[in-house]
């Protein structure tokens, strides 16, 4: 009788429960990673940019608090009439701070969405039930933006979550938005007073707390995702920004906002003067007042006699 023939065994049998590896040592993507045939980029690089932007936001908000305190201590100077010599500087300073707030806010928003999109891409590549990267667009949807971003961050933090940190961050962020809205709307219906500055400073404090906690949330999620990337054998990302560097960027944000506001405060009077000179009739030399006998200083205006009707 012929001996039983056996089939050749697999030269590289994969142990049960393990994924076959490629020549580069990267695990072959399973079915739920079929789209991500290459590892998605690490979110840590974008996370560093978010951290820097948030640190700058803290600095700008600190300048706003200092401005509100100055208004409380010397309201007469900040609310002088249009004829005051200080008024052009005040308008320029407030305009400069406003530009700083809009600029750093836009920069931080874009950086956050880029970071969160990359973080979700990593979660999708590691898990079957993760939220898709497109969830970042819920930030731009009214009403839904009150809940959905919080749920998305909770999904990113699964496995290494700190619920208390995440909830305090979201609560302070919502309070920042609500109090800021009240500080903007209420002056339309209520009489002016010191309450405006106190309400504004309260909103700035909520913003600083939210930014500080957001930095910790970003670091928490990045650390967890980097641990997952290491298990998968994917290339490592950037290290988190150190606390000392964060403090320097806080100082940098405050300095940039102050310099910008000071520049606007100094340049704004000159701009107003040039606008006034470009419009006839806005300066004292070009004014013509009814009741004077002759206007000898305004070329081009008719000479008015005291005896003629005018």
> Would you state the pLDDT for residue 263?
86
With CA atoms as reference, report the closest residue to 107 among 186, 180, 46, 23: 46
How much is the pLDDT for 84?
A: 64
The per-residue pLDDT of the chain, averaged, comes to 80
Percent of the chain residues topping a pLDDT of 70:
75
Q: Residue 165: what pLDDT?
A: 96
Predicted TM-score (pTM) of this structure = 0.76
pLDDT at 145 over 70: yes
Of 70-79, 159-168, 224-233, the least confident:
70-79
Which DSSP state fits 290?
Answer: B
Which residues are CB-neighbours of 296 under 8 A, at least 6 positions away?
A: none
Q: For the chain, where are the alpha helices, taking DSSP H only?
A: 44-73, 75-78, 87-126, 148-156, 163-189, 194-232, 243-278
Residue 5 pLDDT > 80:
no
> Token digits for 224?
């967890």
289: pLDDT confidence band, cut at 50, 70 and 90? very low
211-228 mean pLDDT: 95
Structure tokens at 296: 């000898």
Q: 3-class SS at 27?
A: strand
The CA-based angle 89-93-96, given to 5 degrees, is: 140
Q: What is the pLDDT of residues 69-119, one digit of tens each?
A: 998 888 777 766 555 667 778 888 988 998 999 999 999 999 999 999 999
Which residue(s) pair with 27 in the sheet?
21
Q: pLDDT at position 273, please?
A: 74
Q: For residue 146, what pLDDT is reported?
A: 95
Whether the per-residue pLDDT at 15 is higher than 50: the answer is no
Residue 280, pLDDT score: 59
Contacts by 186-192, CB closer than 8 A, 24 or more apart? none
Count CA within 13 A, CB hemisphere, residue 95: 13
Determine the 3-state secondary structure of 11 from DSSP: coil
Q: Which residues pair with 290 in a beta bridge?
A: 292
Of 80-89, 118-127, 226-235, least confident by mean pLDDT is: 80-89
């Amino acid at each position: 009788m012929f001996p039983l023939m056996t089939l050749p065994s697999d030269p590289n049998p994969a142990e049960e429960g393990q994924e076959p590896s490629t020549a580069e040592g990267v695990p072959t993507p399973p079915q739920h990673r079929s789209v991500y045939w290459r590892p998605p980029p690490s979110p840590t690089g974008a996370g560093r940019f978010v951290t820097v932007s948030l640190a700058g936001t803290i600095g700008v908000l600190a300048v706003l608090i200092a401005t509100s305190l100055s208004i409380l201590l010397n309201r007469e100077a900040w609310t002088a009439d249009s004829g005051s010599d200080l008024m052009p500087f005040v308008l320029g300073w407030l305009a400069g701070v406003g530009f700083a707030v809009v600029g750093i806010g836009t920069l931080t928003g874009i950086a956050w969405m880029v970071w969160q999109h990359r973080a979700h891409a990593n979660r999708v590549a590691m898990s079957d039930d993760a939220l898709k990267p497109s969830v970042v667009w819920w930030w731009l949807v009214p009403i839904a933006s009150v809940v959905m971003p919080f749920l998305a961050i909770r999904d990113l933090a699964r496995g290494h979550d700190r619920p208390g940190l995440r909830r305090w961050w979201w609560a302070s962020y919502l309070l920042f938005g609500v109090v800021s809205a009240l500080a903007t709307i209420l002056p339309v219906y209520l009489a002016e007073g010191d309450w405006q500055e106190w309400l504004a400073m309260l909103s700035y404090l909520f913003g600083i707390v939210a930014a500080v906690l957001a930095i910790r949330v970003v670091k928490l999620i990045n650390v967890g995702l980097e641990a997952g990337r290491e298990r998968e054998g994917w290339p490592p990302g950037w290290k988190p920004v150190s606390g000392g560097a964060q403090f320097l960027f806080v100082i940098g944000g405050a300095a940039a906002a102050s310099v910008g506001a000071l520049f606007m405060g100094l340049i704004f009077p000159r701009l107003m003067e040039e606008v006034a000179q470009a419009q006839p009739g806005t300066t004292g030399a070009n004014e013509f007042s009814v009741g004077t006998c002759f206007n000898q200083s305004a070329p081009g205006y008719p000479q008015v006699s005291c005896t003629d009707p005018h």
